[in-house]
């Protein structure tokens, strides 16, 4: 027997589902990339899906970069770059390689107010992060500076982290980290320049210090290129007592062949 509260919940669900049917009839769900009709909102069509490249094994467990063969990894599952230059975080995973289609989805999310793209990307990130995320994990995004938040109105990394936390039933803490100063857009910077620009620009918020201590943190961002932003974020968490930090991103930029193995910040994307 369903009580009054249960009846209200059921009626509410039916009401929402009914309106969903009406809206789907008036405005059929469409592909996030090409606009073709899909069976459900927030998806990309089959033709567009073959254009994206999910990250699959073998990949480096430390930086998430796909490898031609498992022979390129050491006994701990790390690639040559990560073996020579250990990263601040313990493991990293990416949902996709940063190809043309995924680039379009991420740029739309960041600059065109296409917040619905976060659901698609976040769901695939949650799958990619399976094994990194536990019920007691804290999911937190790489922070955006308040000036950029005023311009964009949202932090795309926070939208992704929220989806991941919901899918994995982990703890979502959107404001664990903060950017203490605005940084220059990093596009076009070298690895060393990116790190120098980001150094000391991110810290744990004072009221979050107790919550960080002893916890497993999953740091979320949209894109991994050189790893400078993630390195500074992970360093701040570890220096304030985090037990471990893992990194989960929507996409990573394929490693360049001419990588400088002697760089202090390894190319991790």
Could you tell me the residue ranges of all domains in the chain? 45-252
Between CA 44 and CA 49 the distance in angstroms is 6
pLDDT average, residue stretch 162-183? 92
Q: What does the pLDDT read at residue 150?
A: 87
Task: Tell me the pLDDT tens digit for each residue of 4-33.
Answer: 555 554 445 544 455 555 545 556 899 999
Query: What is the percent of the chain with per-residue pLDDT over 90, rounded to a whole number?
Result: 67
> Does the pLDDT at position 45 exceed 50?
yes
Q: What does the pLDDT read at residue 117?
A: 97
Between CA 193 and CA 196 the distance in angstroms is 5
When pLDDT is cut at 50, 70 and 90, the band that residue 261 belongs to is very low
Q: What does the pLDDT read at residue 265?
A: 35
Between CA 148 and CA 110 the distance in angstroms is 11
When pLDDT is cut at 50, 70 and 90, the band that residue 97 belongs to is very high
- Per-residue CA distances from 185 to 66, 148, 154, 235 (Å): 27, 11, 17, 21
pLDDT average, residue stretch 115-137? 95
Task: Tell me the pLDDT tens digit for each residue of 238-260.
Answer: 999 999 999 999 999 976 543 43
Between CA 244 and CA 242 the distance in angstroms is 5
Distance of CA 80 to the CA centre of its chain: 24
Within 13 A of 172's CA, how many CA atoms are on the CB side? 14
CATH of domain 45-252: 3.40.50
Residue 152 DSSP SS3: helix
> Does the pLDDT at position 168 exceed 70?
yes
Residue 134 DSSP SS3: coil
Phi-psi bin for 53: left (phi > 0), alpha (psi -120 to 50), beta? beta
Tell me whether strands 177-179 and 202-204 are parallel, antiparallel or unpaired: antiparallel
Which residue is it, tokens 């995973």? 93
Between CA 167 and CA 226 the distance in angstroms is 28
């Amino acid at each position: 027997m369903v009580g009054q509260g249960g009846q209200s919940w059921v009626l509410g669900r039916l009401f929402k589902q009914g309106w969903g049917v009406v809206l789907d009839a008036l405005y059929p769900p469409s592909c996030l990339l090409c606009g073709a009709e899909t069976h459900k909102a927030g998806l990309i069509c089959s033709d567009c899906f073959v254009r994206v490249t999910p990250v699959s094994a073998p990949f480096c467990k430390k930086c998430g970069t796909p490898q031609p063969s498992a022979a390129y990894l050491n006994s701990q599952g790390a690639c040559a770059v990560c073996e020579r230059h250990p990263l601040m975080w313990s493991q990293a995973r990416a949902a996709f390689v940063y190809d043309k289609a995924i680039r379009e989805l991420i740029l739309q999310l960041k600059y065109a107010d296409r917040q619905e793209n976060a659901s698609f990307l976040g769901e695939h990130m949650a799958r990619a992060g399976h094994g990194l995320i536990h019920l007691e994990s804290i999911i937190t995004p790489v922070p955006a500076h308040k000036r950029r938040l005023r311009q964009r109105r949202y932090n795309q990394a926070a939208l992704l982290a929220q989806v991941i936390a919901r899918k994995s039933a982990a703890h979502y803490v959107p404001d664990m980290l903060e950017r203490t100063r605005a940084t220059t857009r990093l596009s076009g910077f070298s690895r060393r320049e990116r790190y120098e620009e980001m150094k000391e620009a991110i810290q744990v918020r004072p009221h979050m210090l107790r919550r960080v201590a002893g916890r497993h943190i999953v740091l979320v961002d949209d894109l991994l290129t050189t790893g400078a932003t993630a390195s500074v974020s992970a360093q701040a968490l570890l220096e304030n007592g985090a037990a471990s930090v893992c990194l989960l991103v929507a996409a990573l930029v394929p490693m360049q062949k001419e990588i400088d193995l002697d760089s202090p910040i390894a190319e991790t994307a």
